[in-house]
Structure 1
Amino acid sequence: MKAASAYAARTWPGKPVVASGHSFGTLTALCLGGALPNLGNFRDPTIKAVMGFSSPGRIPGLIGPDAYASDALPVMIVTGDQDTVPGLVADWHDHFLPVQSSPAGNKFGVAYEGASHELIGHPDDPKFASAISVSSTFLRAYGLGDRAAKAKLIGDKGTTGASWIKR
């Protein structure tokens, strides 16, 4: 991921770089934002924000209560209330650990009713369009510095069929 972000920063100088991923890809993106400092310095200064779909949650020995304590970048996590992974994530609320335990400010979590771990991979899911919309708003707000998008995101009262966490 550091090689990919370095390539993006070098190829498009002056353009914002946002780390993004799904599941363990989200963990990698969060590491580029400063997560898991107890395992090493993964922070990539070219990264301006982190967009994740279904973060891994808590994993004993890897992701504990302080895993995201140094991840100060803007973060959005999109998940669903059916997003469990046998053997890894028993409680879908755990996907919000990066939002709840990192330094407050510009942190967002959205959970869609009935959505599973694979929401972002199914464009035919009725919740997919909303997930793309809120993700795009986050990217405009924190990747491109769009003040109107940031105001919309902060002021959003929520989407029907979704619950929000904002810190």
Structure 2
Amino acid sequence: RALYSKSGDYISGTALAAGLAPSNLANVDLAWEKATTLDVAMEFSLFKDRVSGTIGYYNRINSNLLLAQPLPLTSGFGSINQNVGKMRNRGFEFELSTMNIKTKDFTWRTDANIALNRNKILNLIDGQTLLGGSFAIAVGRPINSIYTLSL
């Protein structure tokens, strides 16, 4: 659906009325993004809970990705929202907690975590590369890969 915003006031007979104008183009083919997720984790505790942690893996596929596609300025609008493709996000997460010292008057606990995430564009409309400023979205590459000119 198109969004409308106030575009100024005008006189209707003897009354002042607010004017509305479309602020974006409607896209009747626009759909909600969809996600399919696999999330597996294992928790552990050793030595009477003095060492504990979690190891996790996730794999998420997002389809119907939404992106504002540039339009020719002759359309009167700068862009239109479209469903442009599919992306995969996957990675590992590790968390480790240790109770180093625990006495009546003093407790020393250490917590650490690390995560590794990789994303990749799986497909786009017609396999195209989408450009925007200094970033590009291309099949087989991470989302928003930054490209710079080096001499």
More relative contact order in 1 or in 2 (CA 8 Å, sep 6+)? 1
TM range (shorter): under 0.3
For normalisation by structure 2, the TM-score amounts to 0.23
Greater strand share, 1 or 2? 2
For normalisation by structure 1, the TM-score amounts to 0.21
